[in-house]
Amino acid sequence: MSAADTLSFQRLNPSLGVQVTGVDLADPAFRSDGTNLFGQIYRGWLDSGGVMVIRDQNLEPEDQLAFSRRFGELDPLEGATVEPYLHPEHREIYRVSNKVKDGVKLGRQRAGVYWHSDNSHKERAAKASLLYGIEIPPYGGDTMFSNMTVAYEALSETFRRTIDGLRCIHDFEKAKSGSFKNETVTDRHLTTTPPISHPLVRTHPETGRKCLYLNAGVITGIEGMDPEESAALLDFLYRHCIRPEFVYRHQWREKDLLIWDNRCTMHYAVADYDGVGERYMHRTTVFGDRPV
């Protein structure tokens, strides 16, 4: 197939999600931009609500890295808690998998089993994550996404006025006893990413639209509020954001490349495939700017 046989976009869900077929990201013509397709793909991604799936890709690590770099500078994740799962030869690839070979885990197991936005505990929180499905269980192992722009816009104007301007504390230490309790989290990990405050309502730097910015795994509270006030407000928002109307649930096929926008979506890895089958994925992560 040439780089663009019939590039086509299909909406997957009213809330978010676009599927792309008819492009070969590994084709040298695409990689050198001889096809001029990247601009269309990028705009389609921004218009998708934050999730694009490009089907039927045969991507070697180099292909995924080259494509990912077109979204921006990659976060190498070196020194992060997930370091043991970086690809041995391609350090900017982080492996997510339940596979074990000769007693060694081939990737991080049960990564992202809570509603989150990648790396929100960092100053340069992730812009995009690209996850390539190499082995997929026969069923199960879906990934869910919520559209935080639509969720924000569904709030009453009065409520929106109340929360505009609030800031949340994102503290990786919370993950140590939560989503990362089965990983090694050292003092060095915690001191390299000290608690950071990000706006609860952020403006997407490219679409200009406002959205909620949350991560249940690391947010410890809202700046300036008593813990009970903050817990009540956050509890409402976490429930609100994941209303079925705002959620797209991705059923993986082998060779899917998923690209999500961490600035305006949250995601949740459904951990229901233990004993069902093996799942093996390569993730690349693109740095974002500090949220505003």
Q: Give me the residues that bind Mn ion (CB under 5 A), please.
A: 112, 118
Q: What does residue 161 show for φ and ψ, rounded to 5 degrees?
A: -60, -35
With respect to Mn ion, which residue has the nearer C-beta, 45 or 114?
114
Catalytic residue among 31, 108, 204, 267: 267
288 binding ligand OGA? (CB under 6 A): no
C-alpha–C-alpha distance, residues 206 and 80, integer Å: 28
Name which of 26, 243, 40 is nearest 147 in CA terms.
Answer: 243
Contact (Cβ atoms closer than 8 angstroms) between residue 216 and residue 254: no
Provide the mask over 1-30, with x wherever binding to ligand OGA is found by CB under 6 A and - wherever it is not.
Answer: ------------------------------
129 binding ligand OGA? (CB under 6 A): yes
267 binding ligand OGA? (CB under 6 A): yes
What is the smallest separation between the CB atom of 98 and ligand OGA, expressed in angstroms? 10
Provide the mask over 89-108, with x wherever binding to ligand OGA is found by CB under 6 A and - wherever it is not.
Answer: -------x------------
Using the contact rule CB under 6 A, the part of the chain among 12-20, 111-119, 187-195, 227-235 near ligand OGA is: 111-119
Q: Which residue is nearest to ligand OGA (CB)?
A: 112
With respect to ligand OGA, which residue has the nearer C-beta, 129 or 149?
129
The 10 Å CB-count burial string (b at 16+, else e) for 135-146 is: bbbeebbbbbbb
Q: Which of 202, 283, 286, 287 binds ligand OGA (CB under 6 A)?
A: 283
The one of Mn ion, ligand OGA, none whose footprint includes residue 283, by CB under 5 to 8 A per kind, is ligand OGA
DSSP labels for 41-106?
HHHHHHHTTSEEEE-S----HHHHHHHHHTTS-B---TTSTTGGGB-SS-TT-EEEE--EETTEES
Q: Is there a catalytic annotation at residue 47?
A: no
Q: Is there a catalytic annotation at residue 267?
A: yes
CB neighbours (10 Å) of residue 7?
15
Name which of 114, 106, 60 is nearest 84 in CA terms.
Answer: 106
What is the DSSP-derived secondary structure letter of residue 228? H
Residues that are catalytic: 116, 118, 267, 283
Residue numbers of the site for ligand OGA (CB under 6 A)?
A: 96, 111-112, 118, 129, 131, 143, 267, 269, 281, 283
